[in-house]
Amino acid sequence: MATEAPRPELDVQRLRDRVIGAGAPWRRLDVVPETGSTNADLLARAGAGEDIAGAVLLAEHQTAGRGRHGRSWSAPPRSQLSCSVGVSAAGLPTDAWGWLPLLTGVAVVEALHETCGLQAGLKWPNDVLAGDGKLAGILAEVASPGPTIVVGLGLNVTLTEQEAPDSRATSLLLLGHGDVDRSDLAAAWLARLAARITAWRAAGGPDAALLDDYRRHSRTLGTRVRALLPGDAEITGTATHVDRLGRLGIDDGGAGALVSAGDITHLR
């Protein structure tokens, strides 16, 4: 059984030196010791009139992290990488926005491989999986006034088995990578994310490389799934593709369906 690893603070200056610079989309990076939700904080700053495009906010302790459908979660201080960023969607059609959480997941998978050699995968639309568990979750929310989107990441780093919110959760520690430096991981993810966002903006949606890489990292495509849709509707079938709007295609043996929102369960 994995034992608790040291939990050093994030190195703010090292992060700023590596993340903010000429040609980088990130303009400001802050680390707070504690907050309810980094996503909520950035949304509040936007609501107060601040231009949050290019802002990066990390928290050492997030006490009320936000998930999809209003779900909340928390974890011990410095046991996660808890980060939100502001992304400008100006000039992009709203149809392209659905790919932002998907490309964020691709950047997470790439950063994990870069920093510790871990081969993680993606569960549509917003989970990062490793081993048999959920390693990270992603939440994208539109700020008002827009068009700016806040994208949040909660990634379990040194979370122990006793601290995990449920049996489906895992962490880098539990996967044998508890020595990963959170500052290095954050810097790698933000660099990968910046490159993916730049290509997404230039293409006005998913570029060819993103489409190929998402398919390669997906653990949903080719899998039999059950989708619980808004209004408690349900569809079961094989996940076949993700289209240019970020919707999941499901072959149910009939007319098929394209799912834009819903809870997905992988069926064995």
Residue 4: per-residue pLDDT? 61
Lowest mean pLDDT among 98-107, 142-151, 197-206, 253-262: 253-262
Same domain, 226 and 176: no
pLDDT tens digits, 17-52: 999 976 778 999 999 999 999 999 999 999 999 999
For residue 4, being part of any structural domain is answered with no
Confidence of residue 1 (pLDDT cuts 50, 70, 90): very low
Residue 81: per-residue pLDDT? 97
Number of domains in the chain: 2
Count of beta carbons in the 10 Å neighbourhood of residue 199: 15
Same domain, 102 and 204: yes
Q: Which tokens belong to 88?
A: 């400008």
For residue 3, being part of any structural domain is answered with no
- In this predicted structure, the answer to whether residue 74 has a pLDDT above a threshold of 90 is no
In terms of phi and psi (left: phi > 0; alpha: psi -120 to 50; beta: otherwise), the region of 222 is: left
Residue range 69-76: mean pLDDT, rounded? 67
Confidence of residue 137 (pLDDT cuts 50, 70, 90): very high
Same domain, 44 and 150: yes
| Whole-number average pLDDT of the chain | 92
Confidence of residue 67 (pLDDT cuts 50, 70, 90): low
What are the phi and psi torsion angles at 226 (to 5°)? -120, 125
Same domain, 245 and 138: no
- In this predicted structure, the answer to whether residue 68 has a pLDDT above a threshold of 70 is no
For residue 76, being part of any structural domain is answered with yes
Same domain, 99 and 189: yes
Residue 73: per-residue pLDDT? 63
Q: pTM to 2 decimals?
A: 0.94
Give the span between the Cα atoms of 84 and 42, in whole angstroms.
8
Domain-ending residue, one of 216, 243, 258: 216
CATH of the domain at 242: 2.30.30.100
